[in-house]
Structure 1
Amino acid sequence: MTTNRQTVPVELAGRSYDVVIERGCVLQDFTRNAAPFLPQDTGRKAAFVTDANTHRLFAGRIEDSLTEAGLAAEWFIAEPGEGAKSWAVLERLTDWLLALGLTRSDHVFALGGGVVGDLTGFAAAVLKRGCGFVQIPTTLLAQVDSSVGGKTAINTAAGKNLIGAFHQPSIVLIDALVLDTLPDREMRAGYAEVLKYGLLGDADFFAWLEANGTAVLAREAEPLAHAIATSIAAKARIVAEDERETSGRRALLNLGHTFGHALEAETGFSDRLLHGEAVALGMVLAARYSARRGELAQEDAARTSRVIASAGLPSEIAALGMDCTGETLVDHMRHDKKMEGSGTLPFLLLRGIGEAHMARDVDLANVAAFLDEQLQAH
């Protein structure tokens, strides 16, 4: 196993924790890295939450590591996909954890992508008013985004992530080896969130990705590790400044998401448009709309679109073939949980590459007209 271990601290008052980034830290040496959070009594089993696909790929490697230490695992296996983030699955999961006899000092291990992490984190937040959990993200998107920062949630009929809690993990273990089995489309979707960190606040990182994105997507060890560590450090800084999204600083992490969530809603939150793909296209739209407002140079909007397209991510809304209008998409935005009591919807826009800002003076009718233009463009 390589020794290129990086540790990124997430500094929070009274609840600081580390994000460990090391090839093999999960698949080659899980028990050593997770030791402080495993049951100390060898008669008790560690509780893991995963989905069927991730269990098939990685459970055996983790169980082998536990067996060598005289430990064992119990598995809650959900069906893959957003359907697992539901009241019904949450009820089954919490009942299962209670049946295992988990105490508030125990930890639940979330092995999977963002869905598993969100579900497990929320279950840990409400179980006995809060127990510990460990994030083991197995997709690039989860590694650089959802596993860090403590946002946990399930979906309801009213929308995605509307029922949840802020509940920080005790540690995040990131092993790039798990990405070797990740489908290319999922890898690109996660890479959209990596690009986001450069676009919202780090022009030098964006330029580095412009030059090295192909190597990152090819899973070359050093470029991939650099991209992951830089992304997590950026998110950790923002989360430390604004853990619960009260100052507006953490809202910068939503760059591309207002447009993106509307596109996801119109495509039925389906595989037709993955979350990361929606964010990528949302960032293109945010850049173009910023240019339309005269805040961003046209060449920077074009550069944003070019870099996203070169990564194999969607950059043209018309290519989705949606039978809708700009007003239809704006209607989806009106249900956004960021909608303010005054009836305004804050938009993350750009003044330059690496210079995102919150705009609260956006006219939704103007956004609808802009989207109509984009829907008709070829």
Structure 2
Amino acid sequence: MLRVLQVTESSFSGEAVGSMGSAETATTCSLATLWAQKYVDKLRAQAALGELPGAQLADKVKGSLRFASSQAWAKTERLLAAEIPKQRLDPDLIDPWQIAEDSRDLFEAAAESCGEGLSPARFSVQIAPLCGRLRARYSERDPRVLGFLSMQFHYTGQMVLQALSPQERGLFHPYLKVMDDHLYMPLQRMYEGAAAHAGDTFSAPLAAVQELLPLVTSVAESICAEVAQRFPGYRCESGPLTDLEVRISSIRDVEMFQVYLGLCVLEGSVAAVQQELFPLCVMLYPPLKVEWKLVRQMLELLDEALRFQLTPASYTVLLPYLRAVQSMFSLEVFPESDPIWSHHPDVMRFMGTAQNLLQELMGQGAI
């Protein structure tokens, strides 16, 4: 039986924790451990398949990167090129060569860790600071640029897996999932947000997030299964909701919404959703043919799941932020008459509405 990884301070780079005190480091490591536990099941699957991946698999992944990267950018460009003028996105912010290079660097790091026998759980902790820096750099001037990196990485991963045998895919996929999570989700920022609560004798926000994290994947899986049942004939850009690749991406997106929700709780603000998640969804979902009714259904099911699975205290802490997120994707913002909404959003108008609703629900001053 594999033992759950216990993340220690030495697991982090000096840059990630050097400025933290012992309490902050312990809190940050605690959340990182909760997230890393997601990959222990993947380790068990690897053990069932046989030996851990070695240098041969690592070389095969690296050897496929050049072709995979070029094909991935072609798909990313086809998907998102039309969105640049629609979204009023400055094209000078998008550097295809840098995006491809940063994506390749991540795959090479994963291949090396895989070849060295580093577990996906430990790789999750190791790669978090690098992914956090990439997210910060790409979202510094316009968070929507992060969408180009994420899609490039996603399509590169699909191409790389196609070049592997079924057994090799089973061995490498957990490392791919680790990086996918850290690029799509603000995990490093969440760890840093948790560290800000380290000095408190008791932190209700931190306790709520610690209770939420172990449930994220199971909640996402059940929600996606329910949505697929409620929309049996629905097809997005990649296929029906029951398609394996679509299901994997859908589960990741529901996980992403939950992580952003946890980040809002820790920061006491909906700024992360306002500045990153909402604009990214507005840019990516229309070309991916994800209608807003699916997002609203997902958020409704998420509310039900959290109310049922969390303690009343934790649910009460999360609820105002969940309501604010629901308001951003409401019928008022995205009417049913325009399901594939592809016009530039009046972001400030709707963000102000969400902020006012959050203040009203919390019954306190500005956050």
Q: Same fold (TM over 0.5)?
A: no
**Whose strand fraction is larger, Structure 1's or Structure 2's?**
1
**Whose helix fraction is larger, Structure 1's or Structure 2's?**
2
TM-score (ref. length: structure 1): 0.31
Tell me which of the two structures has the higher relative contact order, counting C-alpha pairs closer than 8 angstroms and 6 or more residues apart: 2
TM-score (ref. length: structure 2): 0.31
